[in-house]
Amino acid sequence: MTIRLMREIDLLVGGIFTRIFNFFLFLKSRQKLPIKEDSIKNILVVKFFGIGSIILSTPMARALKVKFPNAKITLVTFEQNREFVKRLDLYDQVLCFQNRNLFFFLCDFVRNLIWIWNLRVDIVVDVEFFSNFTYVLSLLSFAKYQVGFYQRQVPRGRKYTHPTHLNTHKHITWAFCLLAIRLGAKPEEINHSSLDLQLPSNEDLNSLNHKLGFDIRENFVVTVNPNASHLSYLRRWPPEHFASLLSKLNRKYPEWKLVLIGSPIERTYTQKIEDQAGVSGIINTTGNLFAGELCALIYQSQLIVTNDSLPLHISSAYGKNVAVFFGPESPRVYGPLNSNSIVFFEDIYCSPCLNSFDKSYPDCQNNICLKQIEVDSVIEKIENKLLDVNASSPP
């Protein structure tokens, strides 16, 4: 199922069930009981959309572990997120839903709901912003405590035992951490800028080197991500800008290795950028890297140039030099967390136009907020702030 179809089903069918649950829970008053942290044995964290957001929610999961040291924490997510989730040390179990089609999704819903009932979950932490389905799933778990985001304008979230306001004025890691704080975690003990992601293994590195055809540790590598996930393609810096950037970097620093990345469905898009760049020093790995190999590539790179998407958050987790383009989304909410980073953001009259609550396409068909970011300015700022441009090999 596509993201758009899932959201339409969620709005229609999920919205109906949300209102039904709200009605019956309105008739039955719910007493908010004090949480006895020693009695909490099982916590369910629900986060389906966005691998980057799952990484950004790790400070929250870490805070839950500190607050409830006797509890096992299970993450509920989509099957395609499993490989990245395995690289997070914070979850004891992973429960996955397939979303290939509605039949498989419903089968997993029944199977996983029975598993959740048998687990006897004490706390459900719903990390989604707007999903009716995760709200219904949280209530159907019959957990004693449920915490999740609530907005006055929408029905979902109203009957959580711990409804939490979604603060869109802070970095999203703080919004996630607020869920743990509502359950009793101490904000002064939370390091929201420290993300948990395992370092790549030697096996990941060797596999990557085999695919690249050279030893990444012995070269100056720039990883370039011209893509943005299907949640919003408006976040893409124009492809002709990326092509010009690659061409100019190759001519100025021919000894550098320029590596393009992306998912399999983005291969055609990145291939057009490579062709337009018209230089021979580009390695296009789009659709050819597994999760561990992608992490190894970013970890060993001297620079990552990316749109607002997953590679940014992997770079933040590893503390890498990263240059990122923002426009439709706000860097204040989703920007890099490390100081060795550059954010390109024009902040024009209509920008940002997306927000955490709604990633759907606005009326904009011309993302001038990104088109106004000039290639020469990008190269100059990268050279001045992030790189020793006289170096031809890693420092």
Fold: same for 3-189 and 202-385? yes
Tokens of 52: 């980057």
Tokens of 105: 């999704």
Question: In this structure, which amino acid lies at residue 50?
Answer: G
pLDDT of 393 = 41
> What residue spans of the chain are helical by DSSP H?
3-9, 15-27, 51-56, 58-67, 82-85, 102-119, 132-140, 172-182, 202-212, 239-252, 267-277, 291-300, 310-318, 331-334, 368-371, 375-385
Which residues, at least 6 apart from 124, have a Cβ–Cβ distance to it below 8 Å? 43, 44, 46, 137, 138, 141, 143, 145, 146, 147, 148
DSSP, collapsed to helix, strand or coil, labels residue 166 as: coil
What is the rounded (10 degree) CA torsion for 183, 185, 188, 191? -110
Placement of tokens 């943005």 in the chain: 228
Edge-to-edge strands, sheet with 303-307: 282-284, 257-260, 221-225, 303-307, 322-325, 341-344
Task: Give the integer Cα–Cα distance in Å for 299 and 291.
Answer: 12
Helix (H) or strand (E) holding 77: strand 72-78
pLDDT of 3 = 63
The backbone region for 337, taken as left when phi is positive above 0, alpha when psi lies in -120 to 50, beta otherwise, is alpha
Which residues, at least 6 apart from 363, have a Cβ–Cβ distance to it below 8 Å? none
pLDDT of 394 = 41
DSSP, collapsed to helix, strand or coil, labels residue 257 as: strand
pLDDT of 360 = 55
How is domain 3-189 classified at the CATH fold level? Rossmann fold (3.40.50)
Instruction: List per-residue pLDDT tens for the chain, 395 residues long.
Output: 666 666 777 777 777 778 777 777 665 555 566 788 888 999 999 999 889 999 999 999 999 999 999 999 999 999 999 999 999 989 999 999 988 788 888 899 999 999 999 999 999 999 998 888 999 999 999 999 999 998 877 878 778 899 998 888 889 999 999 999 999 999 999 999 899 999 999 999 999 999 999 999 999 999 999 998 777 778 999 999 999 999 999 999 999 999 999 999 999 999 999 999 999 889 999 999 999 999 999 999 999 999 999 999 999 999 999 999 999 889 999 999 999 999 999 988 888 887 665 555 557 778 999 999 999 999 999 999 988 654 444 44
Residue ranges of the domains in the chain?
3-189, 202-385
Give domain 202-385's CATH number out of 3.40.50.620, 3.40.50.2000, 3.30.2320.30, 3.50.50.60. Answer: 3.40.50.2000
Tokens of 344: 């390109």
pLDDT of 395 = 40
Which residues, at least 6 apart from 164, have a Cβ–Cβ distance to it below 8 Å? 147, 148, 149, 150, 178, 179, 182
Neighbours of 282 (CB within 10 A): 21
pLDDT of 200 = 95
In the chain, how long is the greatest CA-to-CA distance? Answer: 71
Task: Give the integer Cα–Cα distance in Å for 8 and 96.
Answer: 21
The answer to whether the CB of 40 falls within 8 A of the CB of 11 is no
Task: Give the integer Cα–Cα distance in Å for 99 and 256.
Answer: 40
The answer to whether the CB of 155 falls within 8 A of the CB of 17 is no
Which residues, at least 6 apart from 205, have a Cβ–Cβ distance to it below 8 Å? 216, 217, 296, 300
Tokens of 154: 């929408």
pLDDT of 294 = 96
Which residues, at least 6 apart from 380, have a Cβ–Cβ distance to it below 8 Å? none
